[in-house]
């Protein structure tokens, strides 16, 4: 290749590395989101950034409902070990296909309604998170979702759950509404976690912004539970 005539030298290391390694890939769900509504990808990345900051330094973390796990490496960057689960084979295969050598984590198939996830070789998990899953769980099976996740947590384990708010469903796309059978307002989401944790802290999101404003105007809710009830 002929010597480049123009360019800024500070970018050359990155250009050379990407030409050597190949461009990073999006997975099935992240590719579709970037194609269908590109800004949606920023919302997903912001949610995972929030999780990564809340769980930073945790030793052994569980993700339930990872999809193609494109954003999961943001959490992997902040924790000692990450194991991600999804019940859809296509998503698990996609997650493995786009896995970065630099940010390795295990991706496995499991349906949380069938029972707790397999115990890690490092024992019980000290943290878990589940984004955009609970709204797909029928209300009458919600207890299985929580009980089976919590069964995999150690005594001091914490859980973060994120889901679209009930109020947001008026504006949700037809595609989204098909699978959303259990959306909650923020108070009801908190009440669900309070059945299993002594302390529950709630946050709101509008687009990529996390805040503690008026919850009825929240498009997306996050709840963090700690202090497991026996």
Q: Which of 81, 92, 62, 70 is nearest to 25 (CA)?
A: 70
| Mean pLDDT per 10-residue interval, the chain, length 230 residues | 71 92 94 95 98 98 98 98 98 97 96 94 95 97 98 97 96 85 97 98 97 96 96
The confidence score (pLDDT) of residue 230 equals 83
The confidence score (pLDDT) of residue 120 equals 81
Fold classified for 9-228: Rossmann fold (3.40.50)
Mean pLDDT of the chain: 95
The confidence score (pLDDT) of residue 176 equals 79
The confidence score (pLDDT) of residue 4 equals 63
Query: Hey, what are 158's tokens?
Result: 């914490």
- Whether residue 167 contacts residue 218, with contact meaning beta carbons closer than 8 Å, is answered with yes
Query: Hey, what are 168's tokens?
Result: 């947001």
Helix (H), strand (E) at residue 64: strand 61-64
- Give the start-to-end residue ranges of the domains of the chain: 9-228
Helix, strand, or coil here: 228?
A: strand
pLDDT in tens, 95-145: 999 999 999 999 999 999 999 999 888 899 999 999 999 999 999 999 999
Helix, strand, or coil here: 106?
A: strand
Per-residue b or e along 79-112, where b marks 16 or more CB atoms closer than 10 Å to that residue's CB: bebbbbbbebeebbebbeebbeeeeebebeebeb
């Amino acid at each position: 290749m002929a010597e480049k005539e123009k360019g800024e030298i500070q970018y050359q290391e990155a250009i050379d590395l990407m030409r050597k390694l190949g461009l990073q890939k999006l997975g099935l769900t992240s590719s579709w989101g970037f194609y269908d509504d590109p800004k949606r990808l920023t919302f997903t990345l912001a949610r995972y950034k929030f999780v990564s900051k809340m769980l930073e330094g945790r030793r052994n973390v569980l993700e339930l409902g990872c999809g193609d796990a494109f954003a999961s490496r943001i959490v992997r960057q902040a924790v000692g070990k990450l194991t991600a689960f999804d019940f859809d084979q296509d998503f698990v295969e996609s997650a493995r296909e786009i896995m970065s050598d630099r940010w390795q984590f295990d991706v496995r198939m499991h349906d949380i309604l069938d029972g707790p996830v397999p115990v890690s070789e490092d024992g019980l998990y000290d943290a878990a998170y589940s984004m955009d899953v609970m709204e797909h769980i029928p209300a009458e099976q919600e207890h299985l979702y929580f009980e089976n996740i919590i069964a995999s947590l150690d005594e001091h384990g914490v859980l973060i759950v994120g889901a679209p708010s009930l109020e947001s469903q008026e504006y949700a796309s037809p595609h989204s509404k098909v699978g959303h059978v259990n959306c909650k307002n923020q108070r009801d989401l908190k009440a669900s976690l309070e059945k299993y944790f002594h302390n529950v802290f709630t946050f709101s999101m509008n687009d990529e912004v996390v805040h503690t404003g008026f919850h009825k105007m929240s498009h997306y809710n996050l709840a963090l539970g700690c202090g497991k009830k026996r």
